[in-house]
C-alpha cells in the first residue's frame, strides 16, 4: 500500500468522475473514448497527448516551490550535451535565418548578479526542426551553453526560430482539431539555467507579435502572457532580452 498512490489516484478519479457527471457523458461516448485512448497508445502518442494537456500543471507545481523566474514547459527536445559556445550558437548558412541577439542578466532574488550561471539554450531551425532529432541536423547546431559574466550578463547570437507544429496527423492532432483548436506552438527559444546553490529554471522566450503567442496548443507560459519578449531591433537584428531571477536552493517555499 502506498499512501501517495492512494492520494493521487483517488483525487484524479474523483475529478474525472465529476467531469463525466457534469457533462453527462453517455455509455456510447464512454466506449468511444476508451477506444480512442487505446488507439492513441498503440500509435505511440500517449506521451504527446498527456503532455499537451497536463504538463503545464506539473510545471506550475514545481514553480510554487520557489521564488524568482517561473519555469515553462521543457518540451521533448532537450539534449544535455550541447557545446559551450563563444557568443554565437552554430546555425546553418543554407537557411539564411534572421539574426537574433539573445541577451540579459541573471540575478538573485535580492537583485544581485549571479556570475558563472550556465544557460543551456536550444531552439528550432528556421524551418521548424530540432537538431539531433529531425532531418540529421548536426546536434551541435541550434544548441549551445553560455556562462554569465561577473555582472550576471550574457549574450549569444543565433537565428530566429519559427512556430512549431506538434505531430498533427495522429490522434492528438485530431482531438485538438475536434475541439476547435490546432497543433501549433509559437516560435520560442528554450533555456535551462543552472547555478550551484540555486533552483534550476527551465524557460522559453516567445517573440511578441508572433503567430500563436497566447494561443499555444501546449498551454505554455505565453498563454499567461509570460516571457513574451517585446519587439526590439538594433541594426536590423532582433534583440531578445531575457532577464532571469534565480531563487536560492535553500529558500523555503513561499
Nearer to ligand MBD, 109 or 127 (CB): 127
Partner whose footprint covers residue 161, from Fe ion, ligand MBD, none (CB < 5 to 8 Å by kind): none
Contact assessment for residue 148 and residue 105, using Cβ atoms and an 8 Å cutoff? yes
Write the binding mask 32 to 71 for Fe ion: x where contact by CB under 5 A, - elsewhere.
----------------------------------------
Nearest approach in angstroms of CB 161 to ligand MBD is 9
Nearer to Fe ion, 142 or 198 (CB): 142
Binding residues for Fe ion, rule CB under 5 A, total: 1
What percent of the residues of the chain are helix, what percent strand, and what percent coil, each to the nearest 5?
25, 25, 50
Nearest approach in angstroms of CB 190 to ligand MBD is 6
**Grid cell in block for residue 83:** 557545446
Binding flag, residue 220, Fe ion (CB under 5 A): no
| Whole-angstrom distance, CA of residue 182 vs CA of residue 166 | 9
Nearest approach in angstroms of CB 73 to ligand MBD is 4
Nearest approach in angstroms of CB 207 to Fe ion is 13
Report the residue number whose CB is nearest to Fe ion.
75
| DSSP calls for 159-220 | E----EEPP-SSHHHHHHHHTT--SEE--EEEEEEE-TTB--EEEEEEETT-TTTT--TT--
Sequence-separated (6 or more) residues with CB below 8 Å from residue 212: 163, 184, 185, 186
Site for ligand MBD, rule CB under 6 A: 73, 75-77, 164, 166, 185, 218
**Grid cell in block for residue 245:** 531571477
Nearer to ligand MBD, 56 or 114 (CB): 56
**3-class SS at 70?**
coil
Nearer to ligand MBD, 74 or 248 (CB): 74
Binding flag, residue 75, Fe ion (CB under 5 A): yes
Nearest approach in angstroms of CB 105 to Fe ion is 24
| Degrees to nearest 5, angle at CA 190 with 149 and 78 | 110
Neighbour tally for 250: CB within 10 Å: 8
- Strands 201-207 vs 188-194: parallel, antiparallel or unpaired: antiparallel
Nearest approach in angstroms of CB 164 to ligand MBD is 5
From the list 16-24, 61-69, 75-83, 140-148, the region that binds Fe ion by CB under 5 A is: 75-83
- Binding stretches for Fe ion (CB under 5 A): 75
Amino acid at each position: 500500500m502506498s499512501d501517495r498512490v492512494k492520494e493521487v489516484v483517488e483525487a484524479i478519479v474523483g475529478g474525472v468522475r465529476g467531469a463525466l457527471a457534469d457533462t453527462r457523458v453517455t455509455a456510447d461516448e464512454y466506449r468511444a473514448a476508451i477506444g480512442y485512448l487505446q488507439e492513441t497508445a498503440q500509435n505511440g502518442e500517449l506521451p504527446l497527448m498527456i503532455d499537451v494537456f497536463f504538463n503545464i500543471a506539473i510545471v506550475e507545481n514545481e514553480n510554487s516551490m520557489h521564488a524568482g523566474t517561473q519555469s515553462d514547459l521543457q518540451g521533448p527536445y532537450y539534449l544535455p550535451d550541447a557545446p559551450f559556445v563563444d557568443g554565437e550558437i552554430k546555425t546553418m548558412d543554407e537557411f539564411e535565418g534572421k539574426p537574433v541577439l539573445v541577451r540579459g542578466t541573471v540575478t538573485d532574488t535580492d537583485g544581485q548578479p549571479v556570475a558563472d550561471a550556465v544557460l543551456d539554450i536550444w531552439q528550432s531551425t528556421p524551418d521548424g526542426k530540432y537538431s539531433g532529432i529531425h532531418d540529421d541536423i548536426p546536434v551541435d547546431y541550434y544548441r549551445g551553453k553560455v556562462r554569465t559574466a561577473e555582472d550576471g550578463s550574457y549574450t549569444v547570437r543565433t537565428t530566429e526560430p519559427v512556430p512549431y507544429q506538434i505531430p498533427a496527423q495522429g490522434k492528438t492532432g485530431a482531438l485538438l482539431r475536434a475541439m476547435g483548436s490546432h497543433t501549433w506552438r509559437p516560435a520560442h527559444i528554450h533555456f535551462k539555467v543552472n547555478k550551484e546553490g540555486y533552483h534550476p529554471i527551465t524557460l522559453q522566450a516567445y517573440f511578441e507579435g508572433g503567430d500563436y503567442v497566447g494561443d499555444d496548443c501546449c498551454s505554455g507560459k505565453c498563454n499567461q502572457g509570460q516571457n513574451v519578449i517585446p519587439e526590439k531591433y538594433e541594426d536590423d537584428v532582433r534583440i531578445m532580452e531575457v532577464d532571469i531571477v534565480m531563487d536560492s536552493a535553500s529558500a523555503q517555499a513561499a
